[in-house]
Amino acid sequence: MKIPATINTYCPKCNKHTPHKVKELRKGTRRTLSFGQQKFLRATKGYTSKKAGQVRKVKQSQKQTLMLECTVCKKRHPKGMPHAKKRIEIKKKE
């Protein structure tokens, strides 16, 4: 899926359509001491990244998220994208 580097879309702060910069949002690293991560590590201990007795399905496509930044007020807000097999490609300016 190819996406232009700037798109004209609605900004909730300006309350109108403005040009936005497009950036791909990627997941960061997990905090190892957070409660949910500790629970997950306890549950998967001894079974390589799987819970005991669970069959893991391999998903064919992933949902990706874009981060849009308003060029007028600099407000950033995410935009969810539909399922896609390929990674999102952001077109470079020429």
**Interface residues with Zn ion (CB under 5 A)?**
11, 13-14, 70, 72-73
Of 21 and 44, the one with the shorter C-beta distance to Zn ion is 21
**Whose Cβ is closer to Zn ion: residue 1's or residue 73's?**
73
- Which 3-state string (H, E, C) describes 4-59? CCEEEEEECCCCEEEEEEEEEECCCCCCCCCHHHHHHHHHHCCCCCCCCCCCCCCC
Minimum CB distance to Zn ion, residue 19 (Å): 10
Q: Nearest approach, Cβ of 89 to Zn ion (angstroms)?
A: 25
Is the Cβ of residue 66 or residue 70 nearer to Zn ion in the bound state?
70
Closest alpha carbon to 75 in 15, 3, 4: 15
Nearer to Zn ion, 22 or 70 (CB): 70
The number of C-alpha atoms within 13 Å of 92 and in the hemisphere containing its C-beta is: 1
Distance in Å, CB of 17 to Zn ion, minimum: 10
Q: Measuring CA to CA, which residue among 17, 3, 5, 7 is closest to residue 73?
A: 17
Task: Give least dist CB 71 to Zn ion, A.
Answer: 8
